[in-house]
Structure 1
Amino acid sequence: MHGRKTVLAFALLMCSNATMATHPVEISVANEDQVASLSPPVEFCDVVKEPKIYSGRHVVFTARVESDGVHGMVLVDPHCEGAMDIDITNAGNATDRLNDVVMSGSPGTLDKTVTARWTGIFQRTKGRPKLMVESIENISVDP
């Protein structure tokens, strides 16, 4: 099935002669977007500290955005060292909201703290790791 993940489950069914038989049952659980939205939140610091564990996985976490207003944005958390690049080309309308917030007032984040809930696929790359962003939610600004 295109765009759907399926799970092959084995149901144990009682036969009329009281013996057990195993029959495969196909269960459609969700499309990929629904699976991603069901990912349990993790800590940004855990992802940065243990990139091998999270590489290629859907992740959901809250992190702060840092930007100079010219050269892009990175994700950080004041509770740990490390930063993460972001690719927001597939993040939909939330990209516009994020850019509006970062560019409001003085461009960049020197005059404000911008935090959001990020969902995407984590990629461990040479240099700084990257999040292929699928959604950005709960964008907050603290002037």
Structure 2
Amino acid sequence: MRLAVLVPCILLCTLVAACSRPSSGSKQTSVCDIRAHPELFEGRSVRLHAQYVTDGIHGAAIVDPSCGKALAVDSAGKDVNWAPVDRVVDGVGYQGSVGKTIEADFVGVFSGKVGHGVLYVTGVSNVTYSMKGPEAK
């Protein structure tokens, strides 16, 4: 009798634990989708491709030119490798994103509780840039 009760309880507990585990992957999306439906992304890990804009000193944002919307960005920890972005921001042309378009793939956790939203970045990859204006020559 005891075994007949114990086995189903163990199976039920295992099933509940498996279903309650967070998803291991990040959801592919865009700044436009996040800004249009922030409630769907609150507290979730997301992946997106966007332009990175900054003055190089005071703050930064990621922008999707297809809708003109932006999200503030903040580093989620010391382990985030910003070196490829910093090389372009600080070492190419003027400091910041003035005179250049910087694009990258970002992974992070979205929070809509501050302003228009913040992406707490956990990873940056595939950083590219192009010069614009007089610097492009």
| Percent pairwise identity | 26
Structure 2 letter corresponding to 1:64? Q
SS in 1 for 2:49: strand
Taking structure 1 as the reference length, the TM-score comes to 0.71
Equivalent pairs, count: 119
2:70: which partner in 1? 83
Does the alignment pair 1:43 with 2:30? yes
Does the alignment pair 1:103 with 2:103? no
Structure 1 letter corresponding to 2:66? H
C-alpha contact 1:60 1:117 (8 A) present in aligned 2:
yes
Per-residue deviation, residues 110-135 of structure 1 (Å, max 9, x unmatched): 21111111111100024231011110
Per-residue deviation, residues 23-65 of structure 1 (Å, max 9, x unmatched): 3446879x97x91xx2231122101111111111111111101
Q: Which runs of 5+ in 1 are unaligned?
A: 1-20
Matches within 5 A, 1:1-143: 23-24=11-12, 25=14, 35=24, 38-90=25-77, 92-104=79-91, 105-143=93-131
Which aligned segments of 4 or more residues in structure 1 are displaced greater than 6 angstroms? 26-29
Per-residue deviation, residues 65-88 of structure 1 (Å, max 9, x unmatched): 111222121110111132111112
Taking structure 2 as the reference length, the TM-score comes to 0.74
Structure 2 letter corresponding to 1:107? Q
- Which gives a bigger RCO, structure 1 or 2 (Cα 8 Å, sep 6+)? 2
| Between structures 1 and 2, the one with greater helix share | 2
C-alpha contact 1:91 1:133 (8 A) present in aligned 2:
no
CA RMSD of aligned residues (A): 2.6
SS in 1 for 2:27: coil
Q: Which runs of 5+ in 2 are unaligned?
A: 1-6, 132-137
